[in-house]
Every structure is written in C-alpha cells, then in structure tokens.
Amino acid sequence: MAKPCVFASPSSTPLLKDELDIVIPTIRNLDFLEMWRPFFQPYHLIIVQDGDPSKVIKVPEGFDYELYNRNDINKILGPKASCISFKDSACRCFGYMVSKKKYIYTIDDDCFVAKDPTGKEINALEQHIKNLLCPSTPFFFNTLYDPYRDGADFVRGYPFSLREGVPTAVSHGLWLNIPDYDAPTQLVKPLERNTRYVDAVMTIPKGTLFPMCGMNLAFDRELIGPAMYFGLMGDGQPIGRYDDMWAGWCIKVICDHLGLGVKTGLPYIWHSKASNPFVNLKKEYKGIYWQEELIPFFQSVALPKECTSVQKCYLELSKQVKAKLGKVDDYFNKLADAMITWIEAWDDLNPSTATAAKLPNGSSK
C-alpha cells in the first residue's frame, strides 16, 4: 500500500512558512495580492520589476517582500546580468537565483484565487506544497493518478519495486477561465474559456515532454533550481512567450536523467486576462516555427552518466544546444552562452549549492 503523505505542521502555522519564497514578475502595482492575502501573507515575496526601473511599484501593506528592478539586477550581477531578460516576464528567474529558500512558488499578477466546484476558494500554494512534499512516479504510470493521495493507491500490476517513488522537483498548476493558448489558437477561439475542473494530480512520465506554463508553478529550488532558467526573451531578442517552455523542456530532460519527478494538475488559479493575440503572434511566430526542430532535439538529448548534478547537466545541455541548434538560428548560440552565464551567476550567488544533489538512491537512467 502507498503511504499517504503526512504534512506535519501545526494548524496555526502555514506549511513551509520559512522555507518558501513567492516570486512575482510585474510592471504594475500589485493590487491582486489583496485577494491572495489569506494565503500569501505569511510568506516572503520576491518581486522582480520589469520595464522602467524609475517607476514605483506599490505593494499592499502587511506583506514581507524585497523588490528588485533592472538597476538592482545590473548592480548584483554586473556583466552577467546579460543573461536576465528585459521587458519580458522571463525576468522572474532572477528571483529564483537570489532566493535563499528551499522552495519557490511563482505566479503572474493577473492570476486570481479560483474556486473549486463546491464554491470553496482554492489555496493554490498549499496544494503545490503538498505536491512537492509527496513523491512522484515517473517510471511507471498509475492509472489512479496520484497513489499517495487519500482514497487512492497503486493499482493492480504496479511494480512493488517502484512504489516508494522519487523526490518531486516541480509542481505545475493549471488555470480556469483564460486558457494558456498560443496566438493562433487565441485567434481561432477568442471566446473559449476553461471551465473544467479536473480533480487530479499526475506525474508526467519519464521521456515525455510537456509545455510548462510559468504563471502557476512551484519547484524545489535545491533539487532543480539551477535549471529553471527562462532564457533570453523580450527586448533585443527575436522571440518571446517561450521562456517557460524552454525552461520546461530543460528541466524535464534533466529530471528524467537525475531520477526526479514532475507533476501537473491541481492546483487551479483563475487566469483573469487574455493577452492580445496579435501582439502574442509577433512574439511567438519564430518559436512556432523553431519548435518543430526544438522538440525533436529535446526528445533525443542524452546526458552522460558523469552529469551527476543539475549544474553539470545544464552545462552539458548548453553544449548540445550550441552544437545542434546553432545551425537553426544564431539566436541559439547566444542562448547557449547565456545558459553558461546563468550557471556562473547562480553559483556566484549560491556557492553552497554549486555541487547539487547526486542521483537519488535506486534511480537509474
């Protein structure tokens, strides 16, 4: 039998209160935090201000936060600040780098509290934490989805040798109302809204890629943080809106190699605002074309057994990006160099994590 996950936290103390940072990229006042106050106020916020650094971002009273604008990023990273995107939500990954906590939850400022089918407000952060603290099952699919959840278990035929699961590195949440569609789909289905609430969490199987969305995402920074780089996007770059996709493809092949788990499903947030599909198309059109070569690349990536840490995996991946994708467009040569700069900057700010966790016991590539 699967052992249900036990979350040892006094009822008055939020889970992981002192072990998790909430990272929010923004260009506007953070009035949306008022709705999240019951769930977010006990936690520390890292706000990454994009755009004009002279603009004053207002944060509701009562929140514990630190705010970084572009001037701060340049001051802290120096020349290495070139790896952090400007005028794009990809800048959020700077918050991952400066955090000193074990866990990260990141959310966009147009994401509000959703309600489950009973009308109860969803504490998205709490569900992400539960996802991260419970094991994943990437090596064999359980048809009842999460076997560690109350009321579920491993089904008949599931190998007993795999029932302990593996550590969960990433929890990918979903959205009600405005779906995370690309520009062509937005244009074809301008009025479509997601009203389906699927009460499930599942592990994405080993060897399967997925389109990661950064607007409702949590991860174990110690397990996978150095790979959670959102790339070169926005100002001065030929592509946008592929920042989280790029990070998702990278973290998935690295998690597969290191024997770590990635979950998707609950929790839901309410995505309140559809972005302009014509603006999105201008940002995405090269990515839509390039991804037909990017996906086969990531599907065929092989990391050598010597890559026993996230940093080593990521640096090896950068070499393969330059060697195999550089011929697609020179942008990928620049991106490969930025991947190296990112790791150097990460290790500068996080010297204690420069040698990341080894392969978990019992896992194999």
268 occurs within a structural domain = yes
Q: What are phi and psi of 6, to 5 degrees?
A: -110, 130
64 occurs within a structural domain = yes
Which whole number is the average pLDDT over 28-57? 98
272 occurs within a structural domain = yes
Amino acid at site 208? T
Q: What residues contact 47, with CB distance under 8 A and at least 6 apart?
A: 23, 24, 25, 26, 30, 57, 59, 65, 66, 67, 68, 95
Tokens at 265, concatenated:
């499903």
159 occurs within a structural domain = yes
Res. 5: pLDDT tops 90: no
C-beta separation of 162 from 140 below 8 A: yes
Q: What residues contact 101, with CB distance under 8 A and at least 6 apart?
A: 18, 19, 20, 21, 44, 221
Which whole number is the average pLDDT over 248-273? 98
> Distance (Å, rounded) from C-alpha 301 to C-alpha 307?
13
Instruction: Choose the weakest-confidence range: 12-16, 236-240, 284-288.
Output: 12-16
Run of H or E including 35: helix 33-40
> Distance (Å, rounded) from C-alpha 208 to C-alpha 139?
11
Among 146, 139, 132, CA closest to 258: 139
13 occurs within a structural domain = no
**Averaged confidence pLDDT in the chain:** 95
211 occurs within a structural domain = yes
State the SS3 of 43-82.
Answer: CEEEEEECCCCCCCCCCCCCCEEEEECHHHHHHHHHHHHH
Residue range(s) defining the domain that contains residue 132? 20-350
Encode pLDDT of 154-185 as tens digits: 999 999 999 999 999 999 999 999 999 999 99
> Distance (Å, rounded) from C-alpha 22 to C-alpha 105?
5
335 occurs within a structural domain = yes
- Number of domain units in the chain: 1
Encode pLDDT of 10-22 as tens digits: 567 899 999 999 9
Domain CATH for 167: 3.90.550
pLDDT for 3: 72
228 occurs within a structural domain = yes
Res. 363: pLDDT tops 70: no
Encode pLDDT of 299-348 as tens digits: 999 999 999 999 999 999 999 999 999 999 999 999 999 999 999 999 99
Res. 7: pLDDT tops 80: no
